[in-house]
Amino acid sequence: MTGSLLITNARILTLAGPDRPRRGIAMRELSPINHGSVLLRDGKIVEVGPSVSTDADRVIDAGGRVLMPAFVDCHTHACWAGDRLDEWEQKQAGASYLDILKSGGGIMSTVRAVREASAEELTEMLLNRLKIMLREGTTACEVKSGYGLSTDAELKMLDAIHRAAAEWPGRLSPTACIGHAKDADVPNFVDITINETLEAVHERYPGITIDAYTEEGAWSVEETVRLFTRARELGHPLRIHADQFNELGMLDEAVKLGARSVDHLEATSSEKLRALAESTAMGVMLPCSGFHVDDRYADGRAFIDAGGALAIATNANPGSAPCFSVPMAITLGVRNLGITAAEAITASTINGASLLGFDELGTIEPGKQADLVLLRHTDERQLGYEFGGRHIDLAICNGQVVFDASQPS
């Protein structure tokens, strides 16, 4: 990769500093430079400051607009087939998310569609969604399996995610969410998942993060602990969906097992939020789910005030969060998690990057990967204030412009 790009006259949110991830009050510090310049060369950030004297192949005058690290969407289920529009109408008629799940719909309807799709079809559908994410300013994200619920189908999903990673210009972090739900038609499903599916995933993708969904109608605490104990023995990092609808006790177990994050947290008590804040695990909150499902949101304010390291993400999926826009997650987070725009920006950049192990992303500093977004706004607080419009004028990935709102698509 060759060439250089100079962006001048920008309000630069550098988020520079040694701490990764950011916790508590430190999440408010964006380390801005007003009317600054950034020089990019060969995919890297070369120089950041009030001015840059070096010539470049291309110069962009930001006109005072905000230049910031590109978004890192650290919790998505963006690999799927089919749709859930019929179930959306059921919800509008009064059915709850758990009612639909227990009746064989929800996740299981997507499972059936994924099983019928080929790996090539799944790759193509995922790449189409990733293109949308780029236009929304996301250049790195996590993508989970979990809609296969059989050894072959889960491996097919993970293969599709890895193929997409090789074609997409951004960075992907695959997660094997093999404890996403339970197939009621398969006797001893939990035992098969632990003894067969996990082992097969470990053989093909050693070291991949393992995830599960602990909730009524899905995996119990005891079943999840069994899965995670074996996964940890095999050397896999752990993440967990917990407390979306009910506080069942999985948060405590996840902390004991050394999980990297506990995600959802809508039903988590203040006491347990404090316990999570004091642990090494990050809290991941998903306000798009509350917006789409039941208007219930996690208490981001209490978690940050307790010293927690918060990340927010879209949870992009066909059922509870059909959304690919981190700016939308920020808008909802500011309104419903009780957090500030600055905290939401930190939660969706450096903290998301830290959770996924992308240490080269999330800040604008010399030597870091040149993944940046130029906002339409001159004040970053507009991300939390304005909704329903386009926030991103320019998206840069590996030093290359991958989306320019001024150009025809």
Pairing of strands 372-375, 392-397: antiparallel
* 17 half-sphere exposure, CB direction, 13 A CA radius: 18
Nearest to 285 by CA among 337, 233, 240: 337
SS3 label, residue 408: coil
Task: Name beta bridge partners: 241.
Answer: 213, 263
User: Rounded to the nearest 5°, which phi and psi values hold at 264?
Assistant: 100, -90
- Stated as kind and residue range, the H or E segment containing 232 is helix 221-233
Instruction: Kindly state the tokens that stand for 137.
Output: 């300013």
Q: What does the pLDDT read at residue 132?
A: 98
User: Rounded to the nearest 5°, which phi and psi values hold at 71?
Assistant: -75, 150
Topology (CATH) of 4-71+360-404: Urease, subunit C; domain 1 (2.30.40)
What residue type is assigned to position 206 of the chain?
A: P
Roughly how many angstroms between the first and final C-alpha of the chain, as a whole number?
A: 23
- Rounded to whole angstroms, what are the CA distances from 392 to 63, 66, 176, 202, 353? 14, 10, 31, 39, 19
- Buried b / exposed e along 170-202 (16+ C-beta atoms within 10 A): bbbbbbbbbbbbbeeeeeebbebbbeebbebbb
In this prediction the pTM is: 0.96
SS3 label, residue 334: helix
Alpha-carbon gap, residue 403 to 397, rounded angstroms = 9
Q: What does the pLDDT read at residue 301?
A: 98
Q: How far is CA 359 from the centre of its chain?
A: 15
Alpha-carbon gap, residue 406 to 403, rounded angstroms = 9
Q: What does the pLDDT read at residue 1?
A: 44
Alpha-carbon gap, residue 10 to 388, rounded angstroms = 24
Nearest to 96 by CA among 202, 271, 216: 216
Domain boundaries, the chain: 4-71+360-404, 72-356
Nearest to 145 by CA among 205, 85, 225, 84: 205
Asked if 312 and 358 count as a contact pair (C-beta separation under 8 A), the reply is no
- Stated as kind and residue range, the H or E segment containing 20 is none
- Cis-peptide into 21, omega within 30 deg: yes
In the chain (409 residues long), the average pLDDT of successive 10-residue segments reads 86 95 98 97 96 87 98 98 87 79 77 96 98 98 98 98 98 98 94 98 98 96 98 98 98 98 98 98 98 96 98 96 98 98 98 98 98 98 95 98 89
What residue type is assigned to position 267 of the chain?
A: A
CATH (residue range 72-356): 3.20.20.140
